[in-house]
Amino acid sequence: MTLTAPAVTDERIKPAGLVIKLLRRPEVGAAVAALAIFTFFSVATQAFLTPAGVATWLYSASLFGIMAVAVALLMIGGEFDLSAGAMVGTTGLIVGIVTTEWGVNIWLALVIALAIALAIGAANAFVVMKTGLPSFIVTLATFFILQGVNLAVTKIITGTVSIQGMSAVPGFDAVKVFFGSSFNLLGMNVKVSIIWWIAITALATWILLRTRSGNWIFAVGGQITSSRQVGVPVMKVKMGLFMTTAGAGWLVGMLQLFDVSTVQATTGIGQEFIYIICAVVGGCLLTGGYGSAIGAAVGALIYGMTLQGIVFAQWDNNWLKAFLGGMLLLAVLVNLYVRRQAGVRS
């Protein structure tokens, strides 16, 4: 110890600490990109910044956002879930079939669909944890099973590949208040899914950064053996994450079903990679242990804005996929750069 008075600031911290600190936040890259895309479409198209336009892309982003946030938590915990997209279809179909075909009470139908979704999520976690197989493969299998079952079972029971007559089911309007309603705000027709999206992002962020469970999610994704050694209940954490993702699938399934009163047997297929892309664009590492829920929500916002922006600009829709691929590559490169800047050695 020296005799000099204790300095308020530590000379070993670079004065440019604020920039580095900002860069350390996983969601910063995505926020900058979102701002750029927002500005671009606001200038380039007439419809983008109108109340109706804003409501449209916000709604689009909200459905992807809810899933992206759940998938981000799972990815931070070191796992993937490719069955997340098909799950949206599965839960919608379950509610549709048991209410329209078998006359089951609509509230009970919601509970049944949720229970099945959670059970599938738990099964994914169980197989991954007990076998040590990569979740990529295990949930790829689940994805194909769900995709096949969705189509085959719907065809057997209804004779078609979609659910009809949903709005005639008793209690439909009561449930619609929670999942399919909308309200007026500043001239925008705001759908309730946007509220769900914001609430879930806030909740997920709080859990990640301010609770023990959040600490454990980062830990099991970052270094699973160390987590075990210090007594983190690894199995419970992973189980919770897979069930959360499945639960989010159920929520989005309900939001879609009660918004449009119908569901196709192919609903959700092909979306699983978009959720992962949103999470990665939002700063999640593919290797786990790092990422943010807000980032994933911003990633979904980018996707929603681009999806609708391309429509407003009357471009060929196929550009969306090319754009998405470019965004993903850019995000991965930015993540790499940011991690090096933040000085993460291993």
By CB under 8 A, name the binding residues for another protein: 10, 12-13, 206, 210-212, 214-215, 218-219, 222-223, 225-227, 229-232, 289-290, 342-346
CB of 10: closest distance to another protein in angstroms?
6
Q: Which is nearer to another protein, 130 or 212 (CB)?
A: 212
Three-state DSSP class for residue 94: helix
First-to-final CA distance of the chain: 32
Q: Minimum CB separation from another protein for residue 155, in Å?
A: 43
Smaller CB separation from another protein, 210 or 321: 210
Smallest gap from residue 30 Cβ to another protein (A): 18
Nearer to another protein, 105 or 223 (CB): 223
Give the Cα separation of 319 and 296 in Å (integer).
22
The nearer residue to another protein, 236 or 321, going by C-beta atoms, is 236
Least distance CB 192 / another protein (angstroms): 24
Q: Which is nearer to another protein, 214 or 309 (CB)?
A: 214
Q: Which residues of 208-219 are buried (b: 16+ CB within 10 A; e: fewer)?
A: beeeeebbbbbb
- Residue 105's contacts (CB-CB under 8 Å, 6 or more residues apart) are 99, 170, 171
Listed in sequence order, the DSSP H helices in the chain are 17-24, 28-44, 51-76, 84-100, 106-131, 135-158, 172-179, 192-210, 212-222, 224-229, 234-260, 272-281, 293-312, 319-341
Instruction: Tell me the closest approach of the beta carbon of residue 231 to another protein, in angstroms.
Output: 4
Instruction: State in angstroms the smallest separation of the CB of 226 from another protein.
Output: 4
> Judged by CB, which is closer to another protein: 77, or 92?
77
Q: Provide the residue type at 83 as one letter.
A: S
* Minimum distance of another protein from residue 285's CB (angstroms): 8
CB-CB contact of 283 with 337 (8 Å) = no
**Nearest C-alpha neighbor of 276 from the set 97, 89, 73, 125:** 73
Please state, in angstroms and rounded to a whole number, the distance separating the CA atoms of residues 36 and 100. 46
Minimum CB distance to another protein, residue 34 (Å): 24
Q: Write phi, then psi, for 183 (nearest 5 degrees).
A: -140, 165
Whole-number minimum distance, CB 277 to another protein, in Å? 21
Give the CA-trace dihedral at 167, 168, 169, 174, to 10 degrees.
60
Is residue 81 a contact partner of residue 139, using CB atoms and an 8 Å limit?
yes
Determine how many CB atoms are found less than 10 A away from the CB of residue 233: 14
Whichever of 164 and 226 has its CB closer to another protein, that residue is: 226
Q: Between residues 290 and 323, which has the closer beta carbon with respect to another protein?
A: 290
The DSSP output letter for 6 is: P
CB nearer to another protein: pick between 21 and 155: 21
Please tell me the distance from the alpha carbon of residue 56 to that of residue 194, in angstroms, as a whole number.
11
